[in-house]
Amino acid sequence: MAACNHRLFWAGVIEGFYGAPWSMAERLEILDWMKAWGLNTYLYGPKDDLHHRTVWREPYAPDDAAELARLIAGCRGRGIEFLYAMGPGLDVRYSDPRELEALETRFAQLAELGCRNLCLLFDDIPDVLDPADLARWGSLAAAQCGLVNAVRDWMETHVPGGRLVFCPTPYCGRMAAAGHGGEGYLAAIGTGLHPDIDVFWTGPEIVSREITLGHVAELTALLRRPPLIWDNLHANDYDGRRFYCGPYSGRPPELRSKVRGILTNPNNEQPLNFVALRTLAAYVHAGDAWEPRAAYHAALAEWRPRFATRDREMDPADLVRLLDCYYLPHEEGPEAERLFADIRDLLARDPATWGAEASDARHRMCHLRDLCVRVAGIKDRPLFHAMGRRIWELREELDLLDRYVAWRQDPAKRGEPFRPDSHLLQVYRGGFVPRLQGLLEIRGDGAFVPAVGKGKGPS
């Protein structure tokens, strides 16, 4: 495993998304995968565990504490480092000494359960200080450094050897450039935070397509330490219609020696994280060359048995066809991209000019649609349930497009409006959120413009 210094290179998983936390059985399966593939770190920090953020001052009740102890022991038994994250930033009073005591009480309970490493996260919070805090500390960065350094001092006597990680309020390049956290925030963290404390960073964006060496070098100078990457490449909590089964990519292999570690915060749906974690592990252990597409194919070959139905195995090419539709945030897989381009080009042309390519597109759409139907029969029910609704949606759209092309292929129907019985106004693509989404259009350059008034807006 690549190492950037004497410390362990942290490579692994963050349970750090918004939404229902994983079940204990799901976590243990993730730990099994991690052990088998050589990932060494598990960070517990689901945003919607109330004790993580909302009631961060309250220790766990005995039953919940016992569950957490099981998870910590599960990590220890597999040689995986366990980190617990607390996010006090929504309402912490940095100038009130009782807040430090509350953090210590929380960590004391966690330490009793076997936890030795703590993360203090200040992501996704308002960057305005309470007047008393401002008077005491002068800036958000100074206030956070004061609190986090104090926790570190406490750890030195109570959990010697334990590691502490900090997540800044601006945790990506875009936020820092926008001045989030106040002027000079990151530089102040760099000088004010004890050098032992690691700092999370998600790259140039919250969900970064690429993390380059140049970007990390700049940040390292500012923070006076290499960052620990919190990677949201496969996170899907921000869009319930998508999930990501594409390979770990957009990070050069040289990055491994320039950062403290790489932890990925993946899909909410635990069963959908096989490729995300398998390819991250492959990346961490790869030599100097990294081929994401090859790693994807290798991961799918291992995952494929899980897609068997009662009477047949999943064909390898079919699995690629299907999962290319759920690839990465910034790109579909090449198979999906090709199909999309072919359908788009076909629809842009006069149906009178269509030839064999229209039938070919229909054939491929129907094949993919049938594949979606077949996935409903896979034996691994949790896997199907995790993707079922999104696959159903894909099936629906392919069905509609196929019917449309068939209608237009029929000379007798030419010129007649296409109104299928299966996709009815308001029921299909209906609902308040889609209507709201229709009000603002996003242009190719990323700017939003009103859709209403251009004759396109929804009623």
Is the Cβ of residue 238 or residue 418 nearer to ligand GDL in the bound state?
Answer: 238
Are 86 and 56 contacting, i.e. CB atoms less than 8 angstroms apart? yes
CA 54 vs CA 74, 83, 130, 231: distances in Å = 26, 19, 18, 24
Q: Which of 78, 63, 69 lies closest to 44 in space, CA to CA?
A: 69
Kindly state the greatest CA–CA separation across the chain: 84
Q: Which of 237, 216, 117 lies closest to 172 in space, CA to CA?
A: 216
Is the Cβ of residue 304 or residue 330 nearer to ligand GDL in the bound state?
Answer: 330
Is the Cβ of residue 13 or residue 372 nearer to ligand GDL in the bound state?
Answer: 13
Q: How far is the CB of 169 from ligand GDL (least distance, A)?
A: 10
Q: How far is the CB of 210 from ligand GDL (least distance, A)?
A: 16
- The DSSP secondary-structure symbol of 412 reads G
Helix (H) or strand (E) holding 44: strand 41-44
Which 3 state secondary structure label does DSSP give 43? strand
Is the Cβ of residue 237 or residue 331 nearer to ligand GDL in the bound state?
Answer: 237
Binding residues (CB under 6 A) for ligand GDL: these are: 16-18, 47, 123-124, 167, 171, 202, 206, 230, 232, 235, 237-238, 265
Q: How far is the CB of 399 from ligand GDL (least distance, A)?
A: 31
Is the Cβ of residue 70 or residue 180 nearer to ligand GDL in the bound state?
Answer: 180
Is the Cβ of residue 171 or residue 307 nearer to ligand GDL in the bound state?
Answer: 171
- Helix, strand and coil content of the chain, in percent to the nearest 5, comes to 50, 10, 40
Q: How far is the CB of 160 from ligand GDL (least distance, A)?
A: 28
Q: How far is the CB of 301 from ligand GDL (least distance, A)?
A: 29
Q: How far is the CB of 410 from ligand GDL (least distance, A)?
A: 45
Active-site residue set: 124
Query: Which residues, other chains included, contact 168 with Cβ-Cβ below 8 Å and sequence gap of 6+?
Result: 122, 123, 144, 181, 185, 186, 189, 199, 200, 201
Report the C-alpha dihedral over residues 311, 316, 322, 324, rounded to 10 degrees.
Answer: 170
Query: Which residues, other chains included, contact 382 with Cβ-Cβ below 8 Å and sequence gap of 6+?
Result: 271
Are 112 and 122 contacting, i.e. CB atoms less than 8 angstroms apart? no
